[in-house]
Structure 1
Amino acid sequence: MTTRRRALIGVAGVTVGGLGLNISPRQAAPAQAATVPSATAADRGKGQAPPPRTVDVHAHYVTPAYRKALLDAGISQPDGMPAIPDWSADKALQVMDRTGISVAMLSVSSPGFALGDAGKTRTLVRLVNQEGADLVKANPSRFGLFASLPLPDVEAAVAEVAYAYDVLQVDGIAMETNYEDTYLGDPTFRPVLAELNKRKAVVHLHPTSPACWEATALGRPRPMVEFLFDTTRTVAQLILDNVIADYPGIRFIVPHAGAALPVMADRIAAFATLSTPPVDVIGALKRLYYDVAGFSLPRALPALLNLVDSSRLLYGSDYPFTSDVVVQALAGQLGTTTALSAGDKQRMFAGNALGLFPRLGER
């Protein structure tokens, strides 16, 4: 964010940088609108932690090693953003406490790890996954981890899935929408998907810049427009090429309220009837999960709710690529929206995530 934008969002209770977001003490924590029960005093005396009030499935971490690797590769403005955001576990926990987030599932955002050398990529992915696991070990009731993979190196990626689950005990896997311009539904990635399917993995998709961004991004940061289209492109490919059907054990999470999928679903479905055999696009979309990170209100979330019900919704902050005060404002909107009932909000903020990550309910 620019200095001017930071100044505009720096005072609670003011409109946030022309985005129409207002922060007030009433809206600060989404958990106020959710009805997940907390532990009684007797439970706390027994050492039982309360169930999560809010689970954030779209939260990023930036370790010193990863930051250095980006800078060494000449990436100081990832995907056209102003800078690599500052991040530390302490800062993240402070934001979580201010926003009512009990648990954040950490992942590495775009541009990921494909920095030009396959050997260095494998080493860096392993190091940053280990750093993420250490963060979870130090804060087991506050953090979870989606491990990264060294794609497009398929053999190394399959090995990293095994290491992530068997050694690091991760909660899921983070995958980008494309790796060096190859999309996830490409046949070359099938061995990785087969391994994830075998492990019934939760896979959080995250957009990255497409191959043609220089021509299509309009000179703007790619998260503005291109990220949503890349998510839409990837999910459409996964459905049309029967990846979703062939690997039913994978629980995919689609970011940013489904990107453009809610408004394009019927169009994609109509064209899919020309396939042999026809592909059930709407049925496949209904089987996916969707985080609501980003600007889901007032338009994107109602559009998504025309496609799926609240049992497929998950909360996401996108911190630190979304700043602290905007995270709080967006969470406040979700906590007070009339587009969702109290039960819908409980499912979105925590209940659905507990189904995907049972260990969170055993804390």
Structure 2
Amino acid sequence: MNRIDVHHHLIPSAYRERLAARGIAEAGGRELPDWSPEGSLGVMNRAGIATAILSISTPGTAFLTDAAEAAGLARDLNDETASLVAAHPDRFGFFATLPLPDIDAAAAEACRALDDLDADGVVLLANARGTYLGEAGQEQLFSALDERSATVFIHPADLPAPAVTGIPPFATDFLLDTTRAAYLLVSNGIRRRYPNIRFILSHAGGFVPYASHRMAVAIAGESGRSPLDVLDDFSSFYFDTALSASPAALPSLLAFAEPRHVLFGSDWPFAPEAAVQYFAAGLDNYTAGDAVLGHRIERENALALFPRLGTTAPIPAPAFPDRIRGAATRTAMRAITRLIATS
């Protein structure tokens, strides 16, 4: 019961109703799953998660084209989530939703959420209605976040292009979306001009670790910078392991990222519990011979971003039925992971 999960979503009923009123019943090509605080706590108990940092997933508020309506929804979501965290301060934190692409409103809500609601950071979609993080004109928002040494969780959204029939966006497009945002944040100098912002890239950074040298050469050729300096910018991001703790992805991520910048993530409830357990088992298997590395990824690295979580009382062990269910699931998933790794 020691993991800190930085990629854990909530879907409040009022938010689900707002989406339904606009004919939105899915995100990333996947039907919106059921969610409740009790459901989150149950999965957390069975997966050994002490604390989950909650966030609203795509589409955030970007499905609303009226700026005032989007700003109002962001305020409501943040107030509701802050109340949930106040009721369970040891088990939940939250990343505040911002009403992008309206930069003025987003900056104002970031200040309110961080200063008044004690949000643990903010969640920003890689693109909001086709406007990407890192594009020109976003200085007001980044300045406010830098002044507060904010943690920024970057979550992918649908690409600003038609989906390809037969390929659900969450499976491939989300990885490209995150990579595009990371590229712009580095190539346009945001990463360097605002060094106090801690950016977390979802899903092991999309394609960033794998394609980092290729992207560094491209940026260096355009800017005249050293490719090594560009690589330093890319590796200074934080990366979560949501849906990415596999024997194929982890070696690339850990070879590239700064050792203390890899964080545990589950992606529940968009990732069903079986997937949460599968990738948690994959991480366990990969770090079985290096307990220090495993503990850093599961907890210690996150405590550097969220030190308040290090002062909370120990989380009690889950109830016996939850322990049995969780252990059985993890055992099965470890066996599957080993089979895949050796096949």
For the aligned pair, the TM-score class normalised by the smaller chain equals 0.7 to 0.9
Match of 2:139 in 1: 190
Q: Offset of 1:340 from its aligned partner? A: 6.5
Find the counterpart in structure 2 of residue 49 from structure 1: none
Rounded to whole Å, the distance in 1 between the matches of 2:217 and 2:190 is 19
Other-structure match for 1:245: 192
Q: Determine which of 96, 105, 119 is the counterpart of 2:68.
A: 119
Deviates more, 1:112-121 or 1:65-74: 112-121
Deviation at residue 339 of structure 1 after TM alignment:
7.7
**Measured at CA, do residues 108 and 340 of structure 1 come closer, stay the same or move farther in structure 2, by a change above 3 Å?**
farther
Cα displacement string for residues 95-148 of structure 1 (whole angstroms, at most 9, x for unaligned residues):
000000000000000111112222211111110111110110000000000001
SS of the aligned residue for 1:130 comes to helix
- Verify the 8 A CA contact 2:245 2:282 in the aligned structure 1: no
2:42 pairs with 1:94:
yes
Deviation track 1:44-74 (CA, whole Å, cap 9, x = no partner) reads xxxxxxxxx1100000000011101110111
Equivalent position of 1:307 in the other structure: 256
Tell me, yes or no, if the aligned pair for 2:134 and 2:185 is still in contact at 8 Å: yes
2:78 to 125, 129, 133: 129
Give the conservation status (yes or no) of the 8 Å contact 2:28–2:168. yes
From 234, 249, 253, the equivalent of 1:285 is: 234
1:173 and 2:110 correspond = no
Number of the residue aligned with 1:323: 272
Aligned equivalents of 2:69 and 2:134: distance in 1? 25
After superposition, the Cα gap between the structure-2 partners of 1:189 and 1:339, relative to the gap in structure 1 and judged at 3 Å, is farther
Determine the structure 2 residue equivalent to 1:229. Answer: 176
Q: Which has the higher contact order (CA 8 A, sep 6+)?
A: 1
Q: 1:346 aligns with which of 279, 282, 295?
A: 295
Partner of 1:18: none
Report SS of the residue matched to 2:265: coil
C-alpha contact (below 8 Å) 1:302/1:339 kept by paired residues: no
* Distance across 2 between alignment mates of 1:150 and 1:340: 44
Higher helix share: 2
Q: Distance in 1 between matches of 2:14 and 2:289?
A: 41
Equivalent of 1:148 in 97, 101, 110 = 97
Corresponding residue of 2:339? none
**How far off its partner does 1:274 sit?**
1.4
Paired residues of 2:236 and 2:258 also in contact (CA < 8 A): no
Amino acid in the other structure paired with 1:243: I
SS in 1 for 2:99: coil
Equivalent residues of 1:292, 1:316 under 8 A apart: yes
Residue 217 of structure 2: aligned partner? 270
Partners of 1:295 and 1:274 lie apart in 2 by: 31
- TM-score, scaled relative to structure 1: 0.83
Counterpart CA distance in 2 for 1:340 and 1:300 is 18
State the alpha-carbon separation in 1 of the partners of residues 291 and 162 from structure 2. 40
**Alignment partner, residue 362 of structure 1:** 311
SS in 2 for 1:237: helix
In structure 2, distance between residues paired with 1:332 and 1:79:
25
Which of 229, 234, 258 is 2:205 aligned to? 258
Partner of 1:92: helix, strand, or coil?
helix
Change (3 A) 1:109 1:224: same
Verify the 8 A CA contact 1:213 1:222 in the aligned structure 2: no
- Amino acid corresponding to residue 151 of structure 1 in structure 2: L
d(CA) in 1 for partners of 2:237, 2:135: 19
Q: Distance in 1 between matches of 2:259 and 2:60?
A: 30
Is the 1:111–1:208 contact (alpha carbons within 8 Å) kept by the matching residues of 2? Answer: yes
Matched residue count? 309
Amino-acid identity (%): 40
- The equivalent position to 1:85 in structure 2, one of 8, 33, 38, is 33
CA–CA separation in structure 1 for the residues paired with 2:250 and 2:208: 12
| SS across alignment from 1:147 | strand
Q: Give the residue type in structure 1 aligned to 2:107.
A: V
For 2:198, the aligned partner's letter is R
Q: Which residue of 1 aligns with 2:58?
A: 110
Q: Structure 1's 300 and 218: CA in aligned 2 closer, same or farther, altered over 3 A?
A: farther
Is residue 199 of structure 1 aligned with residue 151 of structure 2?
no
Q: Show CA shifts across 1:15-69 (max 9, x none).
A: xxxxxxxxxxxxxxxx6xxxxxxxxxxxxxxxxxxxxx11000000000111011
Q: CA deviation at 1:301?
A: 1.1
The one-letter code matched in structure 2 to 1:225 is: T
Please state whether the residue corresponding to 1:203 is helix, strand or coil.
strand
| Partner residue in 2 for 1:28 | none
Kindly state the Cα deviation for residue 276 of structure 1 after the two structures are TM-superposed. 3.2
Quote the offset at 1:309 in angstroms: 4.0
1:306 aligned counterpart, secondary structure: helix
- Match of residue 73, structure 1, among 1, 22, 27: 22
8 Å CA contact 1:213–1:226 kept in 2: the answer is no
Matching residue's letter, 2:259: S
